[in-house]
Amino acid sequence: MAREQLKNLTEPMYYILLSLITPQHGYGIMQEVERRTEGRVKIGAGTLYNLLSRFEEEEFIQQISEGNRRKTYRITDKGMDILRDEYKRLQQLIVDGSEFLEEGR
Res. 100: pLDDT tops 90: no
pLDDT tens by residue, 18-74? 999 999 999 999 999 999 999 999 999 999 999 999 999 999 999 999 888 899 999
Q: Is residue 38 part of a domain?
A: yes
Question: Do β-strands 70-75 and 61-67 pair in parallel, antiparallel, or remain unpaired?
Answer: antiparallel
Domain membership flag for residue 2: no
Is 1 part of any domain?
A: no
Using CB atoms within 10 Å of the CB of residue 96, give its burial: 0 to 12 exposed, 13 to 18 middle, 19+ buried.
exposed
pTM, to two decimals? 0.86
pLDDT at 4: 54
Q: Is residue 4 part of a domain?
A: no
Domain of residue 85, residue span: 9-103
Q: How many domains does the chain have?
A: 1
Return the CATH number at 17: 1.10.10.10
Q: Is residue 3 part of a domain?
A: no
Q: Among 2-11, 80-89, 94-103, where is mean pLDDT lowest? A: 2-11
Q: Is the pLDDT of residue 1 over 50?
A: no
